């Protein structure tokens, strides 16, 4: 055989890359090996490895004794459901998956390749952060990754899968991703660990209590999806892929599995007649969109709004809905951030947006004002006003004040505004409005309670209903709720060819 010796050398080297003892160490920690993870997320036999022979150039401290081929990260490309992705998988069993100069170079190369070829980039993260022994070169490795991620932002989807620690500045690779998937029990993200926190603030906290999956999916909002184990987490990523395009030049996925079936028989039962009563917006989503296609994002964070992907007659859409059963569906700081982030992702990747509006407005109170509801709420306005994808707003019940402007006003740029006949559109609810505009009359009245009641009714009857807005051309259609699905399908189809150019500028100055 030609080149026998050389081929033998190659095979010997390759067979020494993986060490079953180290993989066993991972298993003992309740985690999979870096290569096992790749094989679980990619289509069978589709992985091609790059840079398998890269090693650290450093020998400082004890590094010369710890050098590994591949430098504790496996990188390459493969397929998910037949679509090419670039990915890296950090190997905690080797130097804690810590990121040194060459490890960083490998990841940067993957992100750059993903951007140039228009393919999504996936990071499987299990790392002790910057490799201490490589000093500033480790930090520069991160800098290079972050810069390439920012360049790829809005060009290709970037996904981080957390399956181990992500300590210190390492959190900013997931932080700069479009979606973060976390796995319960084994993944933690934190800027400074429990020991430093104890020294600096005296606080006692565990790794899990500081940056575990529950914390990031419910409190900080950093994690978009949480799964019980790694296999489920990888399946979740594959599911997400069925909703998102490869890159910003592709149209969103249209009519994948068309299902024009008429539904909506139960829709009238869902919304209570009493304006103040809550209901589950997800019940409306279930009635209107294709069966079992709603894929919720940020399901446990800021639950007063619901965002996620679904299919409507087979076409992928992004849904933003107020959740009336949680805080009446108000917009507050966290829900504003949640909406703005989702809207910008959908707009960057050409996914049409459908709003389901039922909200009394932005949440009042000193807490919200002090934390900056003005700048957070402004992000929602900015994101929608800037978005050029088809934007449809359906007003189900209340659309008051700033929340109407943000979620339903034609003049903010909605292409199609639809209302149910029970919709109420106004600067504020009738009860609050009467207290302001009839303040004097109520003070002077002999029977203020009666007068107040009459005026509230007067406003409700003649001022709030959707016909007032429809007369001004601000509402395109008032529809029987049972027709919602078919009207949305037709409206979406009519907007499918929408093209709107961007203003020439370096970039806007979003109120971040």
Among 23, 73, 130, 426, binds ligand HXC (CB under 6 A): 130
In the complex with ligand HXC, which residue's Cβ is closer, 183 or 315?
A: 183
Q: With b meaning 16 or more CB within 10 Å and e meaning fewer, what string describes 338-355?
A: bbbbbbbbbbbbbbbbbb
Q: Please tell me the total number of residues recorded for the chain in this structure.
A: 512
In the complex with ligand HXC, which residue's Cβ is closer, 205 or 428?
A: 205
Among 129, 211, 352, 390, binds ligand HXC (CB under 6 A): 129
Residues 6+ apart with CB under 8 A from 72: 90, 91, 92, 94, 95, 96, 97, 98, 103
Map tokens 């049972």 to a residue: 482
DSSP of 304-332: TEEEEEEEETTEEEEEEEE-TTTGGG-B-
- Long-range CB contacts for residues 52-59, cutoff 8 Å, separation at least 24: 52/14, 52/17, 53/13, 54/102, 54/105, 54/106, 55/102, 56/100, 56/101, 56/102, 56/103, 56/131, 56/134, 57/101, 57/102, 58/100, 58/101, 58/133, 58/134, 58/137
- Long-range CB contacts for residues 94-97, cutoff 8 Å, separation at least 24: 94/22, 94/66, 94/68, 94/70, 95/66, 95/68, 95/128, 95/131, 96/72, 96/127, 96/128, 97/34, 97/72, 97/73, 97/126, 97/127, 97/128, 97/164
Q: Is 96 in the site for ligand HXC (CB under 6 A)?
A: yes
Among 42, 95, 284, 387, binds ligand HXC (CB under 6 A): 95
283: nearest Cα among 263, 302, 300: 263
In the complex with ligand HXC, which residue's Cβ is closer, 21 or 366?
A: 21
Minimum Å distance from CB 115 to ligand HXC? 20
Q: Choose the catalytic residue: 76, 236, 402, 429.
A: 402
Q: Is 168 in the site for ligand HXC (CB under 6 A)?
A: yes
Region near ligand HXC per CB under 6 A, out of 113-121, 169-177, 454-462, 476-484: 169-177
Q: Is 120 in the site for ligand HXC (CB under 6 A)?
A: no
Minimum Å distance from CB 2 to ligand HXC? 41
Region near ligand HXC per CB under 6 A, out of 79-87, 94-102, 269-277, 415-423: 94-102
In the complex with ligand HXC, which residue's Cβ is closer, 146 or 463?
A: 146
In the complex with ligand HXC, which residue's Cβ is closer, 129 or 481?
A: 129
In the complex with ligand HXC, which residue's Cβ is closer, 173 or 422?
A: 173
Q: Choose the catalytic residue: 129, 168, 221, 236.
A: 168
To the query of whether residue 402 is one of the catalytic residues in this protein, the response is: yes
Region near ligand HXC per CB under 6 A, out of 9-17, 101-109, 163-171, 342-350: 163-171
Among 47, 68, 86, 142, binds ligand HXC (CB under 6 A): 142
In the complex with ligand HXC, which residue's Cβ is closer, 108 or 474?
A: 108
To the query of whether residue 128 is one of the catalytic residues in this protein, the response is: no
Q: Choose the catalytic residue: 403, 426, 430, 469.
A: 403
In the complex with ligand HXC, which residue's Cβ is closer, 149 or 316?
A: 149
Applying the rule CB under 6 A, the residues between 470 and 489 that interact with ligand HXC are none
Among 70, 78, 128, 308, binds ligand HXC (CB under 6 A): 128
Q: Is 98 in the site for ligand HXC (CB under 6 A)?
A: yes
Neighbours of 507 (CB within 10 A): 5
H-helix segments, 242-280: 267-270
H-helix segments, 387-483: 401-408, 430-437, 439-444, 448-462, 466-471
Map tokens 């606080």 to a residue: 203
Minimum Å distance from CB 202 to ligand HXC? 19
Among 167, 226, 310, 422, binds ligand HXC (CB under 6 A): 167
Q: Is 205 in the site for ligand HXC (CB under 6 A)?
A: no
* Phi, psi dihedral angles at 412 (to 5 degrees): -85, -10
In angstroms, the CA 468 to CA 413 distance is: 20
251: nearest Cα among 495, 502, 504, 508: 495
Q: Is 104 in the site for ligand HXC (CB under 6 A)?
A: no
* Site size with ligand HXC, rule: CB under 6 A: 17
**Residue span 327-366 as binding mask against ligand HXC, x where in contact by CB under 6 A, dash where not:** ----------------------------------------
In the complex with ligand HXC, which residue's Cβ is closer, 131 or 224?
A: 131
Q: Quote the tokens at residue 239.
A: 């599911």
Please give the C-alpha separations between residue 91 and each of 36, 99, 126, 491, in angstroms, as whole numbers. 11, 10, 7, 48
Q: Quote the tokens at residue 2.
A: 């030609």
Q: Is 170 in the site for ligand HXC (CB under 6 A)?
A: yes
324: nearest Cα among 363, 283, 277, 290: 277
Applying the rule CB under 6 A, the residues between 174 and 203 that interact with ligand HXC are 193
Q: Which residues make beta-bridge pairs with 227?
A: 183
Minimum Å distance from CB 23 to ligand HXC? 14
Three-state secondary structure call for residue 377: helix
Q: Is 123 in the site for ligand HXC (CB under 6 A)?
A: no
Active site (catalytic) residues: 168-169, 402-403
Residues that bind ligand HXC (CB under 6 A): 95-96, 98, 128-132, 139, 142, 165, 167-170, 172, 193
């Amino acid at each position: 055989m030609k080149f026998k010796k050389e081929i033998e050398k190659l095979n010997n080297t390759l067979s020494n890359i993986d060490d079953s003892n180290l993989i066993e160490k991972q298993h003992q920690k309740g985690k999979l090996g870096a290569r096992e993870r790749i094989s679980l997320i990619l289509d069978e036999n589709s992985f091609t490895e790059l840079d398998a022979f890269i090693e650290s150039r450093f020998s400082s401290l004890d590094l010369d004794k710890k050098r590994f081929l591949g430098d504790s990260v496996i990188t390459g490309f493969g397929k998910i459901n037949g679509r090419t992705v670039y990915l890296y998988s950090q190997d905690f069993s080797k130097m804690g998956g810590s990121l040194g100069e060459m490890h960083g170079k490998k990841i940067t190369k993957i992100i750059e390749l993903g951007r140039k070829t228009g393919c999504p980039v996936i990071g499987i993260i299990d790392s002790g952060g910057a490799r201490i022994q490589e000093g500033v070169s480790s930090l520069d490795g991160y800098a290079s990754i972050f810069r390439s991620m920012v360049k790829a932002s809005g060009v290709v989807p970037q996904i981080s899968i957390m399956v181990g620690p992500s300590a210190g500045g390492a959190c900013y690779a997931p932080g700069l991703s479009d979606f973060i998937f976390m796995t319960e029990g084994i993944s933690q993200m934190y800027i400074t660990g429990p020991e430093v926190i104890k020294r600096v603030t005296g606080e006692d906290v565990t790794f899990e209590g500081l940056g575990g999956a529950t914390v990031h999916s419910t409190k900080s909002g950093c994690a978009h999806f949480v799964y019980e184990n790694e296999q489920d987490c990888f399946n979740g990523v594959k599911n997400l892929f069925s909703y998102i395009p490869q890159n910003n030049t592709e149209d969103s996925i249209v009519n994948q599995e068309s299902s024009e079936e008429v539904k909506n028989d139960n829709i009238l039962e869902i919304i209570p007649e009493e304006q103040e009563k809550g209901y589950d917006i997800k019940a409306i989503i279930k009635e209107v969109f294709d069966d079992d296609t709603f894929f919720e994002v940020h399901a446990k964070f800021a639950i007063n709004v619901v965002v996620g992907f679904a299919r409507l007659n087979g076409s992928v859409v992004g849904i933003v809905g107020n959740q009336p059963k949680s805080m009446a569906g108000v917009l507050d700081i966290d829900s504003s951030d949640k909406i703005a982030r989702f809207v910008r992702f959908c707009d960057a990747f050409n996914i049409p947006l459908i709003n389901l509006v039922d909200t009394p407005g932005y949440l009042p109170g000193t807490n919200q004002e002090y934390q900056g509801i003005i700048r957070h709420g402004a992000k929602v306005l900015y994101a929608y006003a800037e978005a050029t994808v088809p934007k449809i707003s359906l007003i189900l019940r209340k659309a008051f004040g700033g929340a109407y402007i943000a979620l339903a006003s034609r003049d903010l740029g909605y292409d199609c505004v639809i209302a149910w006949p029970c919709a109420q559109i106004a600067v504020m609810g009738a009860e609050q409005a009467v207290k302001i505009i009839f303040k004097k009359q109520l003070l002077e009245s002999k029977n203020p309670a009666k007068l107040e009641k009459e005026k509230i009714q007067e406003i409700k009857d003649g001022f709030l209903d959707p016909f007032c807005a429809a007369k001004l051309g601000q509402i395109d259609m008032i529809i029987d709720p049972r027709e919602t699905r078919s009207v949305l399908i037709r409206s979406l189809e009519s907007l499918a060819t929408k093209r709107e150019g961007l203003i020439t500028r370096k970039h806007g100055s979003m109120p971040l």
